[in-house]
Structure 1
Amino acid sequence: MSENLSRRHALKWLAGTVAAPVALKAAPGETEPAPPAYPQRYTLHDPDFSKALPGPWDKLMTEAELKTTTALADLILPKDEHGPAASEVGVPAFLNEWISAPYEKQREDGEVIRGGLAWLNTECFKRHAKPFEELTTEQQSAIVDDICGLEKPKPEHRIGAAFFKTFRQLCLGGYYTHSATWKGLGYIGNISLGGPYPGVPQDIIEKYGLQDVA
């Protein structure tokens, strides 16, 4: 992610873009409300159209929760030839920032995430008498396999499966908003071309049936 656009700014911007419009009243002498008015503001710095946003918020995750979050995020997105590990691009901090934000959706996700982290470590102690981050990769994977991608998990794994689904989605969102991971998506950004503009590649023209368009 660009240094000019921090994740906190992005989070505030996303929250501001879905804010409900201000309630409208009919103009004097009119029976119908005036059309919605959206003040033209630079949303990255003033994202809430109706009121001021809250200031920096306290982070909710405990140190123990962050350790488990880091281990699980790196298990889902490890360092390889395609990109860095989740922890190397700040995914645990992103998750902590997300669930700590004072918005309804984020608070709901926070309940799922923090409750799921507790469930995960309880399961780890049942099986191995250790927290998740102290297990071997094979032990961690065995537990995750029981809650990953199952439409109908076992009754004892339902909480874990719901948690993992939300956790994985947020991990991917945090991971691929960092510029260090864009190469794995095939995204190269704006790159200047030397010489004359070569035009649209022929395979793209043919894909969209535009080869006969003058």
Structure 2
Amino acid sequence: MSAPKDLPRMDRRTALQWMLTATASMAARDAQLVAADAASSNAKGYGPDPVMAKVYKPGDVWPLTFTEPQRRATRALCDVIIPADAASPSASAVGVHDFIDEWISSPYPAQAGDRRVILEGLKWIDEESARRFSKTFAELSPEQQLALCTDLAASKPKPELKKGAAFFKRFRDLTAGGYYTTPEGMKAIGYVGNVPSGSFEGPPIEALKHVGLA
């Protein structure tokens, strides 16, 4: 079998803008991850934030983390969590796997715990896939991927799946947080945002007269 081709990457500036926007909006955090983030920062600076007017290439600002196999696993897992339907694209179709790569690669203390959880979790899910089906997660059929994720999403997962379940919960939160900050995701949940509901013909003449403009 021929080697799989590398997955195309999202434009770097777009991915960085997306990641920084989501950082501001994803306020709910797991308490243990916050503690791990604070401990890992050691009060060190992380340098300047990206300048969104610039065009960045891979390796600029901060290096990306995922290897190609990790990107494939991430993409497959994103699409199990948010598959395409008749009205909306899948998570990978809008680039959520690239968003997660930027998220865990960034130097900010708030992301430090997620980097560890995601990288260890991707390793775990490939090992569990190999144990069950003799394939990596990305190579599984959609039915096999769903069966494994259903076990991880159970309200009371089996003891041997405890580590995988914790990873899956955080990965699911990041996938949803990334997806629903895209225009496609906001449309899927009916969020309109700061859009005028009707036409604006200017202030009334009385107001203009009051300030000496009419």
Taking structure 1 as the reference length, the TM-score comes to 0.66
| Matched-pair contact (CA < 8 Å) for 1:82–1:183 | no
Question: What are the Cα deviations for residues 77-99 of structure 1, in whole angstroms up to 9, with x where unaligned?
Answer: 11102310111111000000000
CA distance in 2, matches of 1:139, 1:195: 54
- Using the aligned pairs only, state the percent identity: 42
**By how many angstroms is 1:153 displaced?**
2.1
- The answer on 1:159 being equivalent to 2:167 is no
Change (3 A) 1:83 1:133: same
Other structure's SS at 1:57 match: coil
Moved more, 73-82 or 158-167: 73-82
| 2:187 pairs with one of 183, 186, 205 | 183
Residue 9 (structure 1) aligns with: 17
| Matched-pair contact (CA < 8 Å) for 1:58–1:100 | yes
Cα RMSD (Å): 2.8
- The answer on 1:58 being equivalent to 2:63 is yes
Change (3 A) 1:145 1:14: closer
Name stretches of at least 5 consecutive residues in structure 1 with no aligned partner: 18-50, 197-214
Amino acid of the residue matched to residue 108 of structure 1?
G
Amino acid of the residue matched to residue 160 of structure 1?
G
| Matched-pair contact (CA < 8 Å) for 2:74–2:122 | yes
- The answer on 1:75 being equivalent to 2:80 is yes
Residue 48 (structure 1) aligns with: none
- The answer on 1:136 being equivalent to 2:151 is no
Instruction: Count residues in correspondence.
Output: 160
Question: What are the Cα deviations for residues 92-111 of structure 1, in whole angstroms up to 9, with x where unaligned?
Answer: 00000000011222121011
Residue 172 (structure 2) aligns with: 168
| Matched-pair contact (CA < 8 Å) for 2:18–2:99 | no
Moved more, 91-100 or 133-142: 133-142
Other structure's SS at 1:83 match: coil
Question: What are the Cα deviations for residues 11-66 of structure 1, in whole angstroms up to 9, with x where unaligned?
Answer: 4467689xxxxxxxxxxxxxxxxxxxxxxxxxxxxxxxxx7337711001110000
Name stretches of at least 5 consecutive residues in structure 2 with no aligned partner: 1-10, 26-46, 51-59, 202-214
Taking structure 2 as the reference length, the TM-score comes to 0.66
**By how many angstroms is 1:137 displaced?**
1.2
| 2:119 pairs with one of 98, 114, 118 | 114
**By how many angstroms is 1:184 displaced?**
1.2
Change (3 A) 1:174 1:52: same
